[in-house]
Structure 1
């Protein structure tokens, strides 16, 4: 993956304000990418210093292996998950 793509994704994720979320697809759109999966890969490999917890699946859920930590980090910012999902009214799409 090229450095420019990596930096575009990092910039979009860094710009998500505390207490707000985007989906992987929304991050991809804002970064000019076609693949939400690529965003997930970038965050998994190079996103540990980013507010990765503000990026959710399109259905408002977290990936199972990070769900507990992600929900805790979002809760600390005032974002409450209900039954493991961000309520629809809090999602952009």
Structure 2
């Protein structure tokens, strides 16, 4: 079983992603000093529904801006709907303006 403290660190960082912005599993891993651990961040996001306070897991995508984890949201359109409700444009399961809405925790101000 992965280190639950790492999961909590992931959740704390993901909670800081501003509304209308997205990031990647890899960016979260790098920001937490775990370069190459994007998959573990993905596992953490898969368990984010159990976290309290809630984690905006819909804002974490793969490195290409694809909604690769949309099946984890229970309905195939829910992840896209949540992002679109925040003003993020999606086309064919990919963020249209990925580079312009990308939030890098290493270079952006944290809350």
Using the size of structure 2 for normalisation, the TM-score is: 0.73
SS in 2 for 1:61: coil
Q: Give the conservation status (yes or no) of the 8 Å contact 1:20–1:79.
A: yes
Which residue does the alignment assign to 1:37?
Answer: 39
Q: Per the alignment, do residues 25 and 91 of structure 1 end up closer, same or farther by CA in structure 2, a change over 3 Å counting? A: farther
SS in 1 for 2:91: coil
Which residue does the alignment assign to 1:73?
Answer: 82
Gaps of 5+ in 1: none
Gaps of 5+ in 2: 105-111
Q: Output the aligned Cα RMSD.
A: 1.9
In structure 2, how many angstroms separate the alpha carbons of the residues matched to 1:70 and 1:25? Answer: 19
Q: Which runs of 4+ in 1 moved over 3 A?
A: none
Q: Per the alignment, do residues 62 and 40 of structure 1 end up closer, same or farther by CA in structure 2, a change over 3 Å counting? A: same
Using the size of structure 1 for normalisation, the TM-score is: 0.85
- Indicate the structure with greater helix content: 1
**Deviations 1:4-27 (CA, angstroms, capped at 9, x unpaired):** 212211111010010000011111
In structure 1, how many angstroms separate the alpha carbons of the residues matched to 2:34 and 2:78? Answer: 27
- Do structure 1's residue 60 and structure 2's residue 92 form an aligned pair? no
Number of aligned residue pairs: 92
